[in-house]
A = this chain, B = another copy of it.
Amino acid sequence: MNVNAKHADERRLDAQFAFLLEADRLKQVIRATTLADGSRHENSGEHSWHLALYALALADQAGPGVSIDRVIRMLILHDLVEIDVGDVPIHSANGTAHGSAQVTAAEAKAADRIFGLLPTDIGADLRALWEEFEAAETPDAVFAKALDRVQPVLHNIAAGGGSWKDYNVTFDQLDARVGQKVARGAPAVWTYVRKRARGFFDQL
């Protein structure tokens, strides 16, 4: 290997590790949802791990044509933009903040910066997966979104209300803001979880 090629390899690894060290900051982004035992709020790094495990454990609930491996890749990447933008809870601002034009623009800028730390080829591949997740149109993205939405429902039930209490959420709001997206990607999962959420709200 000549000296220039060696320098190019080192520069490539410099970029790969710069990205991986920056990504570490996602462990300090705090979400509205708590751990299942309610002991503390969850961070977006551990949340992303948990969702990848959801994809492995609930793979049989994915629709035809879904690649669980692509779903897992999306879930690993899906919250990286929160390093710059923070978590925008589904139920905050009465359900209007998440997905607003302002947040969407800030997340695109964050994606420019964060995926831009990587060598160009890797950054382009990972950013394309993140954009596919955000667009929520392909079967893989629709299933990934369903998992992202359903996990907090399980935690709120287990923790005695969690972010539903913090944001005064009603069952109908949950059904509209969360249920529709879970049902779109994993209908039998929503039937199962909705019954338990209904039971939780009924005994309030």
Contacts and interface: CB of A to CB of B under 8 A. Distances in A.
Interface of A: 9-10, 13, 16-17, 19-21, 23-28, 35-37, 39, 42-43, 45-46, 48-50, 52-54, 56-60, 69, 72-73, 76-77, 118, 122, 126, 151, 154-155, 158, 188-189, 192
A24 B13 contact: no
Contact of A45 (B23, B46, B54, B60): B46
A158 to B, nearest CB: 6
A60 B122 contact: yes
B50 A24 contact: yes
Nearest to A67: B69
Contacts of A69: 69, 72-73
Given A20-B154, A45-B50, A49-B52, 12 more contacts: A10-B192, A13-B189, A17-B154, A19-B57, A23-B53, A43-B46, A45-B49, A52-B76, A56-B73, A57-B122, A60-B122, A72-B73
A50 B158 contact: no
What is the copy number of this chain in the assembly? 2
Contact of A46 (B46, B54, B122, B151): B46
Contacts of A56: 73, 76-77, 122, 126
A23 B46 contact: no
Contacts of A192: 10, 13, 17
Given A21-B154, A45-B46, A53-B23, A13 B73 contact: no
Contact of A20 (B19, B53, B59): B53
A29 to B, nearest CB: 11
Contact of A9 (B16, B27, B73, B188): B188
A36 B24 contact: yes
B24 A35 contact: yes
A13 B49 contact: no
A20 B76 contact: no
B46 A35 contact: no
